[in-house]
Amino acid sequence: MATYVNNLRLKEIATGDESGSWGTSTNTNLELIGEALGFGTRAIADASTDNITIADGASDADRSLYLKLTGGGQACTITLLPNTVSKVWVIENTTNSTLTFTQGSGANVSILTGETKAIATDGGGSGAIVYEVFDDLSLASPRLTGTPTSITANAGTNTTQVATTAFVKTAVDNAEPFPSGTSMLFQQTNAPTGWTKQSTHNDKALRIITGTVGTGGSVAFSTALGSGATVAGGSVSGNPTTNHAVAAGNLAVAAGNLAVTVSGNIANTTLSTNQIPSHSHGFSTSAGGADSNQSVGRRGPVNANQSTNNTGGSGAHNHSHNLSGSVNGNPSLSGAPSISGNVTAGNLAVGASTAAINVNYVDFIIANKD
């Protein structure tokens, strides 16, 4: 009695069987072997399950090496039968749903819509396994032509699997060039999307340093450098002493057209007795009367070298005037005499004054990366 226990379900003729028809059965087996190496197609049921069963000793598309599956309409689990067959299929899924292939309680293989995979069964009966043949295929420097496609991994996947252009685009679109917490300056009022405006620092100047960053100062920028800011240095009073010395140097005044013009006059002043210098007048006398050369006449005996009493107070006096004039010209100074010494403590006082220090500025905000 013939059996069909081989992997292609070919007819195995028992000893002494099919006398006179042995050639016909053999030819059929040869045809089925050719079929098992060829291309076939079949429709999958629009159901959640279906079977692919190799027929015993008869032509059957399910035996084909390359099997194109059509039809369907929903995700379907397909059982490869008999579960004792160990065989390789190349299956193309042209349905609109995922097809999952099983043979027993072992591992299964799913083929997404539009995909083609090579699968193999181990024929292990109730515990049979379906393998994906090229799951661990290693190709040295393969050259792919056309527009090869692949499964797009989930965003954030970090393995050695091939990345599709869709995966790369998603990664680029979601890329974060700045780590969370990064602080940056923005010349705009509101923080851009993905950033949070920081309010810790307000109305402060920027300082560039080479060391560790920090903050400092106690006066707001607009107060310290705004219009009408109060600063020290408006007036100086007091009398500190100094022992400054100016050493000899090559200070030179170059010739220039300096001109001084004065007009007006100084008024006469009559000095009072108190304003003239203290003084006396000397004189001499002769017997017998007045001498025609005497400064002051006197009678009596001769007494030469006489003098009057002192008079005058050596007091100050001044002259009124209506002088006016001008100085013009531009003589130049050159040279470099040195100055040494120091100013000793005194009651020097510096009074407050007002300085207009309107510094140009551009406002920025500081924002932190979310």
Distance between CA atoms of residues 85 and 7, nearest Å: 5
The yes-or-no verdict on residue 119 having pLDDT over 70 is: yes
Q: Which residue has the higher pLDDT, 173 or 104?
A: 104
Residues 6+ apart with CB under 8 A from 146: none
118/57 same-domain check:
yes
The yes-or-no verdict on residue 185 having pLDDT over 80 is: yes
Distance between CA atoms of residues 98 and 112, nearest Å: 4
Nearest Cα to Cα of residue 252 among 145, 308, 331: 331
pTM: 0.47
189/98 same-domain check:
no
124/198 same-domain check:
no
3 state SS of 21? coil
34/127 same-domain check:
yes
Distance between CA atoms of residues 192 and 198, nearest Å: 12
Distance between CA atoms of residues 285 and 266, nearest Å: 43
The yes-or-no verdict on residue 67 having pLDDT over 80 is: yes
- Confidence class of residue 251 from pLDDT cuts 50, 70 and 90? low
Give the residue-averaged pLDDT of 21-41: 93
Place of tokens 């027929």: 55
From 132, 160, 193, give the residue that closes a domain.
132
Q: Which residue has the higher pLDDT, 100 or 330?
A: 100
Give the residue-averaged pLDDT of 260-268: 75
99/181 same-domain check:
no
Angle formed at CA 143 by CA 151 and CA 116, multiple of 5 degrees = 40
The yes-or-no verdict on residue 252 having pLDDT over 50 is: yes
> What are the start-end ranges of the H helices in the chain?
22-36, 165-173, 221-225
Q: For residues 284 and 275, is the Cβ–Cβ distance under 8 A?
A: no
Q: Is residue 95 part of a domain?
A: yes
The pLDDT score that the predictor gives to residue 296 is 47
Distance between CA atoms of residues 66 and 132, nearest Å: 15
Q: Is residue 124 part of a domain?
A: yes
Q: Is residue 48 part of a domain?
A: yes
Q: Is residue 59 part of a domain?
A: yes
Q: Is residue 324 part of a domain?
A: no
Q: Is residue 98 part of a domain?
A: yes
Burial class (CB in 10 A: 0-12, 13-18, 19+), 144: exposed
Give how many domains the chain has, as a whole number. Answer: 2
Q: For residues 343 and 240, is the Cβ–Cβ distance under 8 A?
A: yes
Give the residue-averaged pLDDT of 20-30: 91
110/181 same-domain check:
no
Nearest Cα to Cα of residue 70 among 50, 89, 93: 93
The yes-or-no verdict on residue 212 having pLDDT over 80 is: yes
Q: Is residue 368 part of a domain?
A: yes
The pLDDT score that the predictor gives to residue 248 is 58
Q: For residues 39 and 64, is the Cβ–Cβ distance under 8 A?
A: yes
Give the residue-averaged pLDDT of 348-362: 61
120/29 same-domain check:
yes
CB atoms < 10 A from the CB of 167, how many? Answer: 19
188/104 same-domain check:
no
Q: For residues 30 and 59, is the Cβ–Cβ distance under 8 A?
A: no
286-343 confidence digits (pLDDT tens): 555 444 454 444 445 555 567 777 777 777 777 777 777 776 766 666 666 666 666 5
Q: For residues 195 and 182, is the Cβ–Cβ distance under 8 A?
A: no
120/190 same-domain check:
no
The pLDDT score that the predictor gives to residue 158 is 92
The pLDDT score that the predictor gives to residue 77 is 98
What residues make up the domain containing 45? 22-132
The total number of residues shown for the chain amounts to 370
Burial class (CB in 10 A: 0-12, 13-18, 19+), 267: exposed
Q: Is residue 186 part of a domain?
A: yes
DSSP per residue over 276-340, as a string?
Answer: SPPB--EE--BTTB--TT-SS---SS---SEEPPPB---------B--EEEEE----EE----EE
The pLDDT score that the predictor gives to residue 303 is 56
The pLDDT score that the predictor gives to residue 297 is 46
From 70, 99, 132, give the residue that closes a domain.
132
Tally DSSP H helices, then E strands, for the chain: 3, 22
216-245 confidence digits (pLDDT tens): 888 888 887 776 665 555 555 666 665 656
52/116 same-domain check:
yes
Distance between CA atoms of residues 90 and 115, nearest Å: 11
From 77, 102, 132, give the residue that closes a domain.
132
The pLDDT score that the predictor gives to residue 325 is 72
Nearest Cα to Cα of residue 330 among 227, 280, 257, 237: 257
Q: Which residue has the higher pLDDT, 15 or 311?
A: 15
| Average pLDDT score over the chain | 81
The pLDDT score that the predictor gives to residue 84 is 96
The yes-or-no verdict on residue 35 having pLDDT over 90 is: yes
